[in-house]
Amino acid sequence: MSNDPTTPVPDSPFRPEPGDRDLAPQFVLPLVVRIERAAPPPRTDALETAARAVLVMLGDERSAGEGEWARAVRDWQDARIRKVVRRARGAEWRRAEALPGITVTGKTAEVRVFPPVPLDGWPKDLARLQVSGTDLDDPEPPVDADLSAPVLWMNPDLDMSAGKAMAQAGHGAQLAWWELDDEARSGWRDAGYPLAVRTPDPARWRALTTSGLPVVRDAGYTEIAPGSCTVVADHPALR
């Protein structure tokens, strides 16, 4: 992984320029966040829960070997790594829960992750859900992150919707997962994938982007410019 945040990694699934991954069939990982009108989850809790949901999908036995989701996960990881976050409530959420997938809960947030689907092959009960309008706030500032556990650091200079930020946190978690050896992956999985999502001050962000830790560079499909550094994945095993 390059230390230069301005230089895309060759054949990275997150590089802005076209590459070999663009020639492969394109898949997307659907994530649905539950947002009830009366009790929306805090933003940080939703981001952390979405990141853990991605890890739960990657670490699930159905995603490996000859598992029922393994081919879809392989095809998705061979192409661009796209994630789309949609929102649901009430009957919409109940319909989403009836589809094959995994619901991951945070402090109050609930996110359901589904096996990857073709870009134009969404199940109808997910395709009809809204993407825009996923705006969440933190009632109180998050406490300082425990640096003995993984931290996904978000770019303080980018203004992203909650849905976009959830997808980017998921990208960061996935990059960390890829970089870990089998022992570290097993330890993270056995612990329940603890992690924090935090936004550092600008000086710390600059240091993080040149630290050698995995950096997500967005392809620029939505909201932000291509090549923007969105997340640094800080796992203790990678420091």
| pLDDT, position 177 | 97
Q: How many CB atoms lie within 10 A of CB 3?
A: 11
Instruction: Rounding to the nearest 10 degrees, give the CA dihedral for residues 59, 177, 157, 209.
Output: 180
Which has the minimum average pLDDT: 46-50, 69-73, 134-138? 134-138
- Domains of the chain: residue spans and CATH: 26-130+142-234 (3.40.1490.10)
The CA distances from residue 105 to 13, 47, 108, in Å, are 27, 11, 7
Global pTM value: 0.89
Where residue 224 falls among pLDDT bands split at 50, 70, 90?
A: confident
Residue 5 has pLDDT above 50, yes or no: no
Packing angle between helix 43-59 and helix 162-179, nearest 10 degrees?
Answer: 40
Share of the chain above pLDDT 90, in %: 79
